[in-house]
């Protein structure tokens, strides 16, 4: 497998994907368009997120979850699959627009990443808005990475991954580590990364995206960049110089409003000499791997990630459909 390549998976769209994208078009997207118009909505979402942490989240019996504590934030360890190498680790940064979600909400991703990466996953509960800002989130990610190195993990045995806002944080973390001349991880995976927080309108897929309203993404970007330079690469990683970064895998859907910036990250990274596996899945919604419990395409995406990690990080052993099924 070549790391530097563009992939358009040629699978028939499942009936599950057709049903879910139709449901999102009629529910999630109009709700976000209506609600995300005032700071009070962010406050309410943040409070709801705290309540969600109290709700039990089921995982398969073979998945082990344990709490983790760091200097500024908490998180959880997840272990799943066979032949895990405890000397290696994957640091996961969840999405949620920097104001919602948590490691608990993304367990359908993190336990499967433990399977395909053949190592424990540390899912970080980093600080988010509206109480905290982008700098706080980045500081938590860097602190967690530093803690892993201090606990004896070699940088070459670390993988960083994230989705949406967590994909943004993944890219910002890589750039910050490189700029500080710190050792870099072996590889990184970004699922539907939100990489451009400048105040530009998103026209591509404005109507096709079944989940995200382009205007609300722009509104959030304005909210989180207030008082900051949106052209700073740590704020808008798509504008950064990726020279020296490790191999990168980007997974996105062809109808996402964020697809364009995901592709621009791939182009910028390649300009910096970084090998990039860019996968654009036809008609898949934003961060579709989180739907792996119900979407066959999402489970296939994890097998693709396993192929990338086998080459980029030396992960041994193929992954079967059964290993990533619920």
Residues known to be catalytic:
164, 256, 286
Query: Are the CB atoms for 297 and 11 separated by under 8 Å?
Result: yes
Q: Give the 3-state secondary structure percentages of the chain, helix then strand then coil, rounded to 5.
A: 40, 15, 45
Cβ atoms of 286 and 7 within 8 Å: the answer is no
Secondary structure class of 206 (helix, strand, coil): coil
Question: Cβ distance 249 to 277 under 8 Å?
Answer: yes
User: Nearest to residue 163, comparing CAs of 219, 209, 100, 71?
Assistant: 100
Find the DSSP H helices in the chain.
15-26, 28-35, 39-52, 107-117, 134-150, 165-179, 214-224, 259-271, 296-312, 321-324
C-alpha distances in Å from residue 104, one per residue of 52, 109, 246: 9, 10, 28
């Amino acid at each position: 497998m070549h790391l530097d390549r563009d992939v358009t998976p040629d699978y028939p769209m499942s009936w599950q994907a057709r049903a879910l994208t139709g449901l999102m078009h009629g529910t999630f997207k109009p709700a976000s368009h209506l609600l995300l118009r005032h700071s009070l909505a962010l406050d309410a979402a943040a409070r709801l997120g705290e309540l969600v942490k109290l709700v039990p989240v089921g995982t398969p019996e073979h998945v082990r979850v344990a709490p983790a504590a760091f200097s500024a934030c908490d998180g959880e360890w997840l272990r799943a699959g066979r032949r895990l190498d405890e000397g290696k680790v994957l640091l996961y940064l969840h999405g949620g627009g920097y104001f919602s979600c948590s490691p608990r909400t993304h367990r359908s991703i993190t336990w499967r990443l433990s399977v395909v990466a053949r190592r424990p996953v540390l899912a970080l509960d980093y600080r988010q808005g509206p109480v905290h800002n982008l700098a706080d989130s980045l500081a938590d990610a860097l602190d967690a990475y530093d803690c892993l190195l201090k606990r004896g993990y070699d940088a070459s045995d670390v993988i960083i991954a994230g989705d949406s806002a967590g994909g943004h944080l993944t890219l910002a973390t890589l750039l910050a580590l490189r700029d500080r001349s710190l050792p870099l991880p072996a590889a990184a995976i970004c699922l539907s990364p939100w990489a451009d927080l400048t105040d530009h309108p998103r026209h591509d897929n404005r109507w096709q995206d079944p989940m995200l309203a382009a205007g609300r993404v722009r509104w959030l970007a304005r909210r989180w960049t207030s008082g900051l330079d949106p052209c700073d690469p740590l704020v808008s990683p798509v504008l950064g110089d990726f020279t020296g970064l490790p191999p990168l895998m980007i997974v996105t859907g062809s109808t996402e409003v964020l697809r364009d910036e995901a592709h621009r990250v791939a182009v910028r990274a390649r300009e910096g000499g970084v090998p990039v596996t860019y996968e654009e899945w036809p008609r898949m919604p934003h961060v579709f791997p989180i739907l792996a419990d119900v979407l066959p395409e999402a489970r296939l995406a994890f097998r693709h990630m396993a192929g990338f990690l086998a080459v980029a990080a030396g992960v041994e052993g193929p992954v079967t459909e059964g290993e990533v099924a619920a």
